Amino acid sequence: MHRISFTRLLVAAADTDEWEAAVAEQVRRVSSEPGTILYGFLRRGPDGSTLLPAPRDGFNEYLHFQCYQDPAAFDTHVANEKEWWTPLNAKFVKPPRYLERFEDVDTVACVTHEHFWKPDSTRNFSLHRFKVASDRAAAFEVEAKRQIDMVIENEPGTLLYGFIRRPDAAGGLLPKPVSGITEYLHFSAYKDEAAWDVHHTIEHREGDWAWGRVYRTFIASPLETEPVPAANILAATTRDADWPRS
């Protein structure tokens, strides 16, 4: 995959309605791009989270994520949005932009399923920060890939599920990992309550291997989480893809 990114965007509260209407149209247009694998916008809550700080006074904040099949797909996307979306984006989004970008070499494993996300068609989105002792990172990644295989095999209603390894450097979204710790971003989204129930049941089942027990043996500190309920999903699009694994 190409240019996987997560960005915090700041929009003046007075511009919210116009901005969100433009976002809905932008995602509708992008949904016709066959090489755009992941693209969307989510409204953050007013109080911040254990992962990200609260928005500044007078602003609403949004999470924007995107990923493309390859450089050609990204070039097509940029060309498509140049005349319409690029000037609107510049008009409404205020500096600074807080961005973390990744490439295939950073992707442990990820799967997406084709879906057009709206508040009435998507249950939720979550973004987590995992901290794992670096001498256990390779073993953690083996188990994370096993979990992705479980999701692929059993969970058609899981729209997005993946793990990306952060570089050993500060990004625009998060600070640099501390020495001896390897960090991962874990993200997930579900089509509806039934899809979530299937995922939760498998993840926490008794007896057999279960991710809900396994990951807790690796994390070096409590998870940091940015939860996004259905009501805060403005619009997003995903396409069927089992992303390349590093």
- Going by C-beta distance under 8 Å and a sequence separation of 6 or more, which residues neighbour residue 109? 144, 145, 148, 162, 163, 243, 245
CATH of the domain at 84: 3.30.70.100
Total domains present in the chain: 1
Pairwise CA distance, residues 45 & 170, whole Å: 24
Q: Which two tokens stand for residue 114?
A: 């084709």
Pairwise CA distance, residues 57 & 46, whole Å: 9
Digit-by-digit pLDDT tens for the chain (246 residues) are: 888 999 999 999 999 999 999 999 999 999 999 999 999 999 999 999 999 999 999 999 999 999 999 999 999 999 999 999 999 999 999 999 999 999 889 999 999 999 999 999 999 999 999 999 999 999 999 999 999 999 999 999 999 999 999 999 999 999 999 999 999 999 999 999 999 999 999 999 888 899 999 999 999 999 999 999 999 999 999 999 999 998
Instruction: Give 57-115 as a DSSP string.
Output: TTEEEEEEEEEESSHHHHHHHHHHHTTTHHHHHHHHEEEEEEEEEE-GGGEEEEEE--E
The boundaries of the domain holding residue 56 are: 2-242
The phi, psi pair for 4, rounded to 5°, reads -75, 125
Q: Which two tokens stand for residue 40?
A: 């969307």
Residue 127 and residue 185 in contact, taking contact as beta carbons nearer than 8 Å: yes
